[in-house]
Structure 1
Amino acid sequence: MNNPTNFIWYELMTPDPDGAAAFYGAVVGWTIAPHADPAAGDMDYRMIGRSGGGNAGGVLALNADMLAGGARPLWIGYLEVDDVDAAIAAIKADGGAVQMPATDLPVGRMAMVTDPQGAPFYIMDPIPPADAPEGPSDVFSMTEPQHIRWNELATSDPDAAIAFYTKHFGWGQEGEMPMGELGAYRFIQRGGDMIGAVMPLMEGYPVPVWNFYIGVDDIDRAHAAVTANGGTVTSEPMEIPGGEFSLNAIDPQGAAVGFVGPRKR
């Protein structure tokens, strides 16, 4: 792939969008719409708004049929491709799988796939909004609160996963941090920008999965808000390179999520 891509959208799949709205509103400062977006048709799909304007992603309400079919609370990302059908064929040829076939929506053509180790993500050829036909997605930011700030893949085979994503999405892999007996925490880049890391599966990650870290204004305030609003902290705030702190949690509906930001006290 000549033009390396980034995640262009993030989606929370949850059985309780109103509960998620209360939780993420308190922890992050987002506003999740109280009703479905009319453009979503029969789906209960709601936009996540940042307090400073713009959308941070979307929320898909998991209905009874989806839950019966195996859907579970989950944060999932969208990677942009030029041709969804060609990308599906290439991903399948390298050992990935299709979870939702290519579908045309008002916002573009998309499909849900898994990488060869089983971590799910969407691929999408988006239709740019009329008011920003050339504007890039701004849902990811390395520095800003209320954006996704870090994309972390926990996988059963880091070497194979890195080879897969570098081949199909144009990423690079340079640099790592040792994790003792667990192996290495290996950084991934889009162009010259660091966008996340790949790590071996460890306790708390029973299957390969992408985990996303949401920017917050104050990690200690966010930590307190997680527990006060029904979430469960699974990894206490830990200092990361650069002096900020990250923590891991499970939201009240069961989706794993990370938060990252400064310590202000």
Structure 2
Amino acid sequence: MADDRGAFIWYELMTDDPAKARAFYNAVIGWDIDADNSVPDGSMDYRMINRGDGGFAGGVLVLGKDMLANGAKPGWLGYVHVPDVDAAARRFVAAGGAIHMGPNDMEGVGRMALVADPQGAVIYLMTPTPPPGNPDAKSDVFDFAKPRHFRWNELWTSDQDAAASLYGDVFGWTQEGAMPMGEMGDYRFIQHNGGGIGAMGHAQSGGEGSRWQYFAGVDDIDRACKAVVENGGAMLGEPMPIPGGEYSAYAHDPSGATIGLVGPRKEP
């Protein structure tokens, strides 16, 4: 697969209720999540998220009883392409982070590791296996502008300088520009290959701590927010205007996983 170090190449929803997740994300974003497990041997319950244009938006890992008993919780995880998973994982540990899973290989998928940065934000490292006959394939799950793709990656961290240094070192990201947020500090933008992919905010005392959050594109922010409530989710505040004329909002899905939404506000 094309070496695209530092690119977000996959997103994964962990949920304890795939049926509710399927209905919710279809109504809110327009995704069609597989109704059944796609793993032939049944070793895990994993379902693909289909965008409707022939591509994928990510996957869904269904949390079984053992996973839940061991502390797994509904939520979203992002995967970032690295050319050497083992070396990247060691750099996280050397900086004061931790390896939570792996590195290990999944046949036909790639090599991956689940790591935490020194502030506790969790992310996957992955060297994907290219699909048969297409060694230069590139993921298109992230797109800054398109609905039904992931459009923004947001890191809330207790140490922005340390995070910028680590992620810059391992992924090659740059950090240029910021938006002042008053008492919350600066919202610092991050780039990959010169294009904006997200930002870093300062994790607030008493809040949810250091973490990654992800935003999916919608065609109409007001329609999507209405669908959140109508399909068992909950809005975390009202849509807010963002640079460029669009709006963003945070929501919980029916199992409590946080999903960000971003898109235009259409005239009635």
1:76 aligned partner: 77
Q: Distance in 2 between matches of 1:216 and 1:141?
A: 12
What's the counterpart of residue 184 of structure 2? 182
- Give the gaps of 5 or more residues in structure 1: none
Q: Distance in 2 between matches of 1:235 and 1:251?
A: 14
- TM (norm. structure 1) is 0.96
TM-score normalised by the chain length of structure 2: 0.95
3-state secondary structure, aligned to 2:265: coil
Secondary structure (helix, strand or coil) at the match of 1:161 reads helix
Deviation by residue 1:210-238 (Cα, 9 ceiling, x = unmatched): 10000000001001000111111002111
The equivalent residue for 1:248 is: 250
Moved over 2 A (4+): 38-41, 202-205
Distance in 2, matches of 1:44 and 1:250, equals 22
**1:158 equivalenced with 2:188 (yes/no):** no
Deviates more, 1:200-209 or 1:43-52: 200-209
1:119 pairs, out of 101, 118, 121, with 121
After superposition, the Cα gap between the structure-2 partners of 1:203 and 1:226, relative to the gap in structure 1 and judged at 3 Å, is farther
SS of residue in 2 equivalent to 1:133? coil
CA RMSD of aligned residues (A): 1.5
CA deviations over 1:219-260 (Å, ceiling 9, x no partner): 010010001111110021111000000000111111011000
The corresponding residue for 1:52 is 53
Name the % identity. Answer: 56
Residue 132 of structure 1 aligns with which residue? 134
Per the alignment, in what secondary structure is the counterpart of residue 60 of structure 1? strand
CA drift of 1:41 comes to 4.4
Residue-by-residue CA offset, 1:2-24 (whole Å, 9 max, x unaligned):
96411100000111111100100
Q: 2:104 is matched with which residue? A: 103
Shift of 1:205: 4.2
| Equivalence for 1:262 | 264
Distance 1:131 1:229, change over 3 A: farther
CA contact (8 A) 2:31 2:51 kept: yes
Native 8 Å contact 2:236 2:251 kept in 1 = yes
- One-letter identity of the residue aligned with 2:241: E
More deviation in 114-123 or 80-89? 80-89
Check whether the contact 2:189–2:199 (CA below 8 A) recurs between aligned residues.
Answer: yes
